[in-house]
Structure 1
Amino acid sequence: MTDLPSTLDAGQPRWKVPRTALEPRPWHVLAAFAVIGFGIGLTQNGAASVVQDQIADLGTTIDVLGFTMVAYSVGVVVGAPLIMVGLGRVRRRPLLVVMAALFLLTTVATVIAPTVEILLAVRFVAGLPHGALLGVASFVAMSVLGRERRGKAVSIIMLGLTTSLVVGVPLMQWLSNVASWRMAYVVVAIIAAIGLVGVWLFTPDLPGDPAASPRSELRALRGRPLWTAIVAITVGFAGLGAVFSYIVPLLEITNGFAPSQVTWILVAWGGAMTLGAWLGGQLTDRSHVGAGRLGLVGVACALLGIGLFGDIPVATVVLLVALGASVQVFSQSSQVHLMDVLQGSPSLGSALAHAALNAATAVGTGLGALVIAWGFGYRAPAWVALVLAAAALIIVIVGPGYRGPVQWRRPTA
């Protein structure tokens, strides 16, 4: 991998873009995006690790707080297509800088939210830049590494998300216990600020699509393969939202783990997702359809196990680890599949993938909140998610854009 050429347009003043971005180095660019992914992983997934302390501080209940997580996911679903469709012509660098700044501001607003109602509104706004930010970053990462390694490019960004589960989310849970959930989000704000600086310093100023318009981008959203892929992602990924959003009460209340033990279980969960992200990138570069099917089979098996044995402590931990790894394999493959379906708009495809993933989180978290509120316990969301995962597996076997035998390619060096 070699250094990228300077991206400065003829006649453009050099002071507008730092030299580190004018003559970008690929690994610097990817590292900046990984930090952004790490911060987004904290702000989204960390919500589940501080929920017990938010209940006491905000004077609310777990099902109401579940809908603050739904609000974030709905923000992603709304923001990703709106931003990408409306701003297709905008150069990639300023778009990334603005969205990274919005990520920082909304994180600060989360820290100071005085009531659960205001927190609900703030979390919706915080979700708006998420999908577009990661979608544009994925496009730039693919430009750095080349199309033949697009699975690896996506996995590097997702590595930031999953690394947050290894280190950041357990740290947030610990900080929430010893200090407050607000202090946990102060850490997220610091990471967001570092990510913003990295994006400013290293992101090359790649052009947008001069032919893009809301009408042309909307035309790209036609076709059964596209919507089949979106439905498969939304339905298949719901298991993560349904289970992970309530992982702390599942571990502490249903299985009797102490908060200090939960911290280390979250580390193991994050390690499994990191391993799944790496494995998913490798398998996706060989066959994204095959990787998707393998990932969903693993998801379905893990959810079935949690439904049956989710009150046995050791079994619960093992099954959660399996779920984390499997869902990441499916995640990597589904993002690349959407980018392939939308060949003329890869940024939009990646953004839609994140929108679909968060629609899944909203569906899973919302359904989980309902079955818990109805008194079915903290294992019940796994049964709901299992039905959805089984439906997604059927889609990726017989649905438009997925049919046919899987051909595994040799990995690219």
Structure 2
Amino acid sequence: MTSLPPASEAGTPRWLLPRTAHAAHPALVLAGFVVAGFGIGLSQQGASGVILDQVRGLDTTVDMIGWTIVTYALGVVVGAPLLMVGLAAWNRRRLLLTMSGIFVVTSVATMLAPTVESLLVIRFFAGLPHGALLGTASYVGMLALGPERRGQVIATIMYGLTAAAVLGVPGMQWLSELAGWRVSYAVVTAVGIAGLALMWAYVPSIAGTASGGFRAELSALRGRVLWTAILTITVGFAGLGAVQSYMVPLLEETNGFSTGTVTVVLMLFGVGMTIGAFVGGKLTDRSVLLTARVGIIGVAAALAVLGVVGDSGWPVVPALMLLGVFIQTFSQSGQAHLMDATHTSPSLGAALSHSALNAATVVGTGMGAIVIGLGWGFVAPVWFALGLSAIAVVLVFVGPGYRR
């Protein structure tokens, strides 16, 4: 049952709250979030699709571009909790529009970055609004559809991210080869503007959290259950960063696939992630715990297979698809569990889930940059990620908050 407010606050100027947002339909509210998620997915995941063109265009190396992916993820890790705690009292509509505006500005800055050093700095700031934007969107979406359907809400918003994996990443890789990586980020900017426009048109006025001060907001970050959940997501999701960030050189340089074939394989990986988002959303609404266990065991199995067949040509493709399915299944349960663990502030929990997911990207992509820089090849990061996923398997069975 929807809990969205039926009307705007009295006296709100129309330019701040258009008539379409006074009593918006939940589907229209979610549509803006999906487009915003698609733009964020293009910005973050698309970086792996344009990595070789950036290497050529900025006269640098694959591992150095890998660090730009890490700095983006660090921006998410830092920005999600700080912004959600610091801006807890903000109206949710205002918060969403502000974060979307920052996303558009930093996308333009990314497109214009003159050197890899400047790109490192810009990508950190580009990551800052990520968690606060999607975390707030998850909370408002939960109000729109009802708390009992929070798994479907998370999955719906994640469809934007998975659509980026299916269409956006291969599309950016293709466009990068055709016209350059800067043109690809011009598309990211356009999508960000579209998401901002939809949210301005349809997201209603929703009050922020009644704040008891910064220290009171920080109290929501206490407890073994919460930090076990964050640790589990971080080590369990690291495999995505370790694999996806270097997927293009893995396919082209290690396995000898053509550029056109790589585009198709990237789409298939995205299809796997979309299937995982759909299945994970359905399963999470039935049992968060069971979904977490099925998801992370599947992730570990897929990484083990990928490590064995990583340089064997076509067997890599089904292994990548399976990883996409299970990593997204695990992601849905992880986000729902964090919202439950921070029950006094579910929007903070949703934002923290993106912080944890990107901490995983920092670990996986950073680890990959190190071993690739050492000359160990593009398969080596998979084995490190497998070790981390084994830790996550143990945590979802015996960790605080996961035992029942």
Question: Shorter-chain-normalised TM-score: which range?
Answer: over 0.9
- Structure 2 counterpart of 1:201: 201
Paired residues of 1:242 and 1:361 also in contact (CA < 8 A)? yes
Distance (Å, rounded) in 2 between the aligned partners of 1:388 and 1:123? 26
Distance (Å, rounded) in 2 between the aligned partners of 1:146 and 1:212? 26
Which aligned pairs between 1:113-128 and structure 2 lie closer than 5 A?
113-128=113-128
- Structure 2 counterpart of 1:149: 149
CA-CA distance at 1:12 after TM superposition: 3.3
* 1:123 partner amino acid: R
- Structure 1 counterpart of 2:170: 170
Paired residues of 2:2 and 2:143 also in contact (CA < 8 A)? no
Q: In structure 2, the residue corresponding to 1:285 is in which secondary structure? A: helix
CA-CA distance at 1:187 after TM superposition: 0.5
Distance (Å, rounded) in 1 between the aligned partners of 2:353 and 2:212? 19
Distance 1:23 1:241, change over 3 A: same
Distance 1:3 1:218, change over 3 A: closer
- Structure 2 counterpart of 1:356: 356
Matched, 1:100 2:100: yes
- Structure 2 counterpart of 1:318: 318
Paired residues of 1:89 and 1:213 also in contact (CA < 8 A)? no
* 1:139 partner amino acid: Y
Distance (Å, rounded) in 1 between the aligned partners of 2:120 and 2:8? 41
Paired residues of 2:50 and 2:176 also in contact (CA < 8 A)? yes
CA-CA distance at 1:212 after TM superposition: 4.4
- Structure 2 counterpart of 1:410: none
Structure 1: which 5+ residue stretches go unaligned?
405-413
Structure 2: which 5+ residue stretches go unaligned?
none
Paired residues of 2:3 and 2:146 also in contact (CA < 8 A)? no
Report which stretch shifted further, 46-55 or 14-23.
Answer: 14-23
Distance (Å, rounded) in 1 between the aligned partners of 2:350 and 2:147? 14
CA-CA distance at 1:120 after TM superposition: 0.5
Report which stretch shifted further, 359-368 or 213-222.
Answer: 213-222
Report which stretch shifted further, 24-33 or 4-13.
Answer: 4-13
CA-CA distance at 1:16 after TM superposition: 2.7
Deviations 1:20-75 (A, max 9, x none): 11111110000100000000000000000000010111010011110000000000
Q: Indicate the RMSD between aligned Cα atoms, in angstroms.
A: 1.1
Percent of counterpart pairs with the same letter? Answer: 56
4+ residue segments displaced more than 4 Å? 1-5
Distance (Å, rounded) in 2 between the aligned partners of 1:220 and 1:24? 31
Distance (Å, rounded) in 2 between the aligned partners of 1:17 and 1:212? 27
Q: In structure 1, the residue corresponding to 2:314 is in which secondary structure? A: helix
- Structure 2 counterpart of 1:258: 258
- Structure 2 counterpart of 1:216: 216
Paired residues of 2:3 and 2:145 also in contact (CA < 8 A)? no
Distance (Å, rounded) in 2 between the aligned partners of 1:250 and 1:280? 28
Paired residues of 1:272 and 1:322 also in contact (CA < 8 A)? yes
- Structure 2 counterpart of 1:408: none
Q: In structure 2, the residue corresponding to 1:220 is in which secondary structure? A: helix
Paired residues of 2:2 and 2:146 also in contact (CA < 8 A)? no
Paired residues of 2:152 and 2:285 also in contact (CA < 8 A)? yes
Distance (Å, rounded) in 2 between the aligned partners of 1:317 and 1:179? 27
CA-CA distance at 1:369 after TM superposition: 0.8
Matched, 1:238 2:238: yes
CA-CA distance at 1:13 after TM superposition: 3.8
Distance (Å, rounded) in 1 between the aligned partners of 2:13 and 2:261? 55
Matched, 1:53 2:79: no
Q: How many residues align?
A: 404
Q: In structure 2, the residue corresponding to 1:293 is in which secondary structure? A: helix
Distance 1:3 1:363, change over 3 A: closer
CA-CA distance at 1:4 after TM superposition: 5.0
* 1:121 partner amino acid: V
- Structure 2 counterpart of 1:85: 85
* 2:306 partner amino acid: I
* 2:138 partner amino acid: S
Paired residues of 1:42 and 1:188 also in contact (CA < 8 A)? yes
Calculate the TM-score normalised by the size of structure 2. 0.98
CA-CA distance at 1:220 after TM superposition: 1.0
Calculate the TM-score normalised by the size of structure 1. 0.96
Which aligned pairs between 1:286-305 and structure 2 lie closer than 5 A?
286-305=286-305
Distance (Å, rounded) in 1 between the aligned partners of 2:155 and 2:334? 12
Distance 1:231 1:107, change over 3 A: same
Paired residues of 1:88 and 1:213 also in contact (CA < 8 A)? no
- Structure 2 counterpart of 1:63: 63
* 1:348 partner amino acid: L
Distance (Å, rounded) in 2 between the aligned partners of 1:19 and 1:103? 25
Paired residues of 2:58 and 2:116 also in contact (CA < 8 A)? yes
